């Protein structure tokens, strides 16, 4: 999920014009954001390493509580090195962000809600000492800023000195209670009271970034849960943690096993797509695109279904915007096309799509479905960018039934949400509509 390093495009906007501007080349925020895209590919709006694969910090929705006479929306920050796949090495290739502290959390929220919260609650239910420091519930100030270029968007920040902690402390809280408790309050008689309100999507998905002290690391992700109560509820405070200095009674009981963080929220079709940790989803990071070239009803082996051909091409505006990005940005301007994914709105289509063929490129392409999400994948395409410049390349596949016989059966109104990938490393994966 990355979203960063596009600040230098302010100057490029004047050169690229309106068409390129719609592809994230037009200033601090893109028209994609202004149209309400979620998650926002430009968030957080600063220069930092936003790769989830390069940091063990994650944030998850926890609960709604009442504390000190106020209602609070609560999360937990977890530390899980196993999920940071680039951190599973030692030596000079290990990213610096694998071993950093935690100092600030940012949320990408609806600007209408920015004044509906004014406090953060840290360490709810905690009363213990870790590495010589005592942690217990504390209420601190929260800040929020409305974007100067887009008055519908705002950033909510928790950056108090009480939040700052070494990774070892966050890791220990993760083992004991599943994460570092972090909440923000819901002020009375205000229009925003739920996650759906604050993050302006019915699935209650929240986009966040976790920063280290020097703000060079900002792992950015999406979290959410559709089973939390729709509004704040009264909840009794959990029992405090046993301080590490306290000795258990004799005979000593064996220490309980470490509590692993629960799995991420289910990847529902309505959630953020593509369902992976990309370094950037910006439309200007990768110029490969696809559009529907033709659809024809054909009969093969006694089965009648629609044969769909996609034209794979290089978008000229996206290519110019990509080449204008600074050298430090995540970009895939001249890379081959490795994979294209299509999101299926109808999950019953899995057995109804036959293999694909790359016409004009001379190879068959097996069709695969993601094991946990309704996503159709065409991988190992290996189409050089020079090949697209030389002439049309078409990816064709056929619906064979019985559940789905047409593209409109799989994608609403025949318009599929798609994403292109430059390699298996998922550096650049901009989403777009295929129609």
CA torsion angle 329 221 385 368 (round to 10): 160
Tell the burial category of 196 from Cβ atoms under 10 Å away from its Cβ (0-12, 13-18, 19+).
buried
Euclidean distance between CA atoms 407 and 403, whole angstroms: 11
Per-residue tens of pLDDT for the chain, all 435 residues: 444 433 333 333 333 333 332 333 333 333 233 335 567 878 888 889 999 889 999 999 888 899 888 899 999 999 988 877 788 888 888 999 999 999 999 999 988 898 899 899 999 999 989 999 999 999 988 888 887 777 778 899 998 889 999 999 999 999 999 999 999 999 888 889 888 889 887 777 889 999 999 999 999 988 875 333 333 333 334 434 444 344 444 444 444 444 443 333 333 333 468 877 777 778 888 999 999 999 999 988 888 999 999 999 999 888 988 888 877 677 899 999 999 999 998 888 988 998 888 876 667 888 888 877 789 999 889 899 898 878 788 999 999 988 999 999 999 999 999 999 988 777 888 899 999
Euclidean distance between CA atoms 325 and 327, whole angstroms: 7
Euclidean distance between CA atoms 139 and 144, whole angstroms: 16
E-assigned strands of 51-92? 57-67, 70-79
SS3 169: helix
DSSP 8-state symbol, 21:
I
Tell the burial category of 374 from Cβ atoms under 10 Å away from its Cβ (0-12, 13-18, 19+).
buried
Give me the residues paired with residue 365 across strands.
356
For the chain, first and last CA: distance in Å? 25
Contact in structure between 429 and 278 (CB atoms under 8 Å): yes
> Kind and range of the H or E element at 317?
helix 316-323
pLDDT in tens, 322-347: 888 877 677 899 999 999 999 998 88
Euclidean distance between CA atoms 104 and 29, whole angstroms: 21
Contact in structure between 204 and 103 (CB atoms under 8 Å): no
Contact in structure between 206 and 224 (CB atoms under 8 Å): yes
Place of tokens 């430059």: 422
Q: What per-residue confidence (pLDDT) applies to 361?
A: 60
Q: Distance of CA 151 to CAs 109, 141, 147, Å?
A: 11, 23, 6
Q: What per-residue confidence (pLDDT) applies to 362?
A: 61
Closest CA to 207 of 218, 196, 220: 220
Closest CA to 100 of 12, 213, 19, 180: 213
Q: What per-residue confidence (pLDDT) applies to 387?
A: 87
Euclidean distance between CA atoms 416 and 433, whole angstroms: 6
Pull the structure tokens for residue 109.
């929220």
Contact in structure between 49 and 280 (CB atoms under 8 Å): no
Euclidean distance between CA atoms 435 and 418, whole angstroms: 10
Overall fold of domain 288-434: Immunoglobulin-like (2.60.40)
Q: Which residues contact 6 (CB under 8 A, 6 or more apart)?
A: 24, 25, 28, 30, 42, 282, 284, 325, 329
> Which residue blocks in 310-382 are alpha helix, DSSP H?
316-323
The domain ranges of the chain are 43-224, 288-434
Q: What per-residue confidence (pLDDT) applies to 272?
A: 67
Q: What per-residue confidence (pLDDT) applies to 9?
A: 37
Q: What per-residue confidence (pLDDT) applies to 360?
A: 65
pTM for the predicted model, two decimal places: 0.50
Handedness of CA 106, 283, 406, 403 (dihedral sign): negative
**What is Dmax (Cα atoms) for the chain?**
79
Q: What per-residue confidence (pLDDT) applies to 56?
A: 94
Contact in structure between 168 and 133 (CB atoms under 8 Å): no
DSSP 8-state symbol, 333:
T
State the Rg of the chain over Cα: 24
């Amino acid at each position: 999920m990355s979203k960063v390093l596009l600040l230098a495009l302010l100057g490029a906007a004047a050169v690229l014009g309106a068409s390129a501007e719609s592809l994230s080349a037009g200033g601090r925020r893109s028209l994609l954001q202004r149209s309400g895209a979620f998650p926002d590919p430009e968030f957080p709006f600063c220069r930092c390493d936003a790769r989830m694969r390069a940091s063990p910090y994650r944030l998850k929705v926890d609960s709604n509580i009442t504390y000190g006479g106020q209602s609070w929306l609560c999360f937990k920050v977890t530390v899980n090195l196993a999920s940071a796949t680039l951190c599973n090495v030692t030596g000079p290739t290990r990213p610096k962000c694998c071993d950093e502290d935690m100092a600030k959390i940012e949320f990408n929220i609806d600007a209408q809600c920015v004044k509906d919260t004014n406090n953060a609650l840290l360490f709810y239910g905690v009363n213990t000492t870790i590495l010589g420091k005592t942690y217990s519930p504390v209420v601190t100030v929260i800040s929020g800023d409305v974007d100067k270029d887009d008055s519908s968007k705002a950033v909510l920040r928790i950056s108090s000195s009480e939040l700052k902690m070494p990774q070892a402390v966050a890791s220990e809280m993760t083992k004991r209670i599943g994460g570092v408790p972090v909440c923000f309050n819901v002020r009375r008689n205000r229009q925003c009271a739920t996650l759906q309100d604050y993050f302006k999507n019915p699935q209650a998905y929240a986009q966040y970034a976790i920063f280290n002290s020097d703000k060079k690391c900002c792992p950015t992700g999406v979290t959410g849960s559709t089973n939390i109560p729709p509004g704040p509820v009264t909840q009794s405070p959990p029992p405090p943690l046993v301080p590490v200095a306290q000795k258990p009674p004799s005979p000593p009981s064996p220490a309980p096993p470490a509590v692993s963080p629960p799995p991420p929220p289910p990847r529902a079709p309505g959630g953020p797509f593509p369902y992976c940790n990309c370094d950037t989803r910006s439309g200007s990071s990768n110029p490969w695109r696809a559009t529907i070239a033709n659809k024809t009803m054909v009969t093969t082996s006694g089965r009648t279904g629609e044969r769909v051909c996609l034209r794979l091409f290089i978008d000229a505006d996206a290519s110019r915007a990509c080449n204008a990005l600074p050298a430090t940005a995540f970009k895939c301007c001249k890379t081959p096309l490795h994979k294209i994914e299509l999101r299926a709105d109808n999950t019953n289509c899995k057995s109804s799509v036959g293999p694909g063929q790359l016409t004009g490129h001379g190879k068959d392409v097996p069709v695969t479905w993601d094991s946990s999400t309704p996503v159709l994948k065409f991988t190992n395409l290996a189409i050089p960018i020079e090949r697209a410049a030389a002439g049309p390349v078409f990816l064709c596949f056929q619906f064979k039934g019985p559940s789905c016989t047409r593209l409109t059966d799989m994608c609403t109104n025949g318009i599929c949400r798609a994403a292109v990938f430059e390699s298996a490393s998922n550096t650049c994966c901009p989403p777009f509509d295929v129609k």
